[in-house]
Amino acid sequence: MQLSVNCDLPEALPGSLVDLRQGDAAILDGIDLPTEDARRLMELGFLPGTQITAGRSAPGGDPQVFQVDGSEIALRRETARRLKVRRKKTARLDAKPRV
């Protein structure tokens, strides 16, 4: 049996926005989308280096609301997957380790 991996989190864990569960926070690293689409996202606050927190979602988890730069923006999973993030080490340390 493995103890929660959260405790052994490295400094930064690469992943994308879809990996975040409600309440998780992460730092945006880059947007893997065509320039025009990326620009739209940036105008809404999805800028590299910004902290993003996952919020509630539609039934079934798609689309999901993300708290970013003072507003709440909903993205579909297919888009959220293209937003690469690194998880902050402290993000889930306070969460109960699951066995």
Partner 1 sequence: MGGCSDCSSCNTATVVEFSGSQAGPKAVAVIGPPNSGKTTLFNRLTGLHQKVANFPGVTVEQHTGMATLPDGRAIQLIDLPGVYSLSPRSEDEQVAHDVLTGRRTDTPKPEAVLLVLDSTNMGRHLMLAAPILALGLPTLVILNMADDLRKRGGRVDLEKLSAELGAPVALVSARRGQGVERVFEFLAGAMPKPAPKELPILQDVPKCRQWAGHVGTQASYRAPAPPKWTRRLDAVFLHPLGGPLLFLAVVIAIFQTIFTVAAPSQTAVDWLIEHSGRWVASVLPAGLVKSLVIDGVWKGVGSVIVFLPQILLLFLFIGILEDSGYLARAALIADRTMAKVGLQGKSFIPLLSAYACAVPAIMSTRTIENKRDRIATILIAPFMTCSARFPVYLLVIAAFIPNRPLVGRFLSTGAAAMLGLYVLGFVVAVITARVLKSSILKSGRTPFLLEMPSYRWPTLTSLGLRLLERAKVFLVRAGTIILLVSVLLWGALNLPYANGHPPEIANSLAGTLGRTIEPAIRPLGFNWKVGIGLLTAVFSRETIIATLGTIYGMDPEANKEGLQAALHHDLSLGGAFALLVFFAFAMQCISTIAVVRRETGGWKWPVLQFSYMTALAYAGAFAAYHLIG
Q: What residues from 27 to 86 belong to the interface with partner 1 (CB under 8 A)?
A: 33, 36-37, 39-45, 47-48, 55-60, 62-63, 65, 67, 69-76, 78-79
How far apart are the C-alpha atoms of 88 and 53, rounded to whole Å? 11
Burial (CB count within 10 angstroms: exposed 0-12, middle 13-18, buried 19+), residue 1? exposed
Half-sphere exposure of 93 (CA within 13 A, CB side): 9
Provide, rounded to whole angstroms, the least separation between the CB of residue 2 and partner 1. Answer: 28
How far is residue 95's CA from residue 83's CA, in Å, rounded to a whole number?
A: 24
Can residue 90 be called a binding residue for partner 1 (CB under 8 A)? no
**Contact flag: residue 5 with partner 1 (CB under 8 A):** no
Q: Considering the complex, what minimum distance in angstroms separates the CB of residue 53 from partner 1?
A: 10
Question: Does 13 sit near partner 1 (CB under 8 A)?
Answer: no
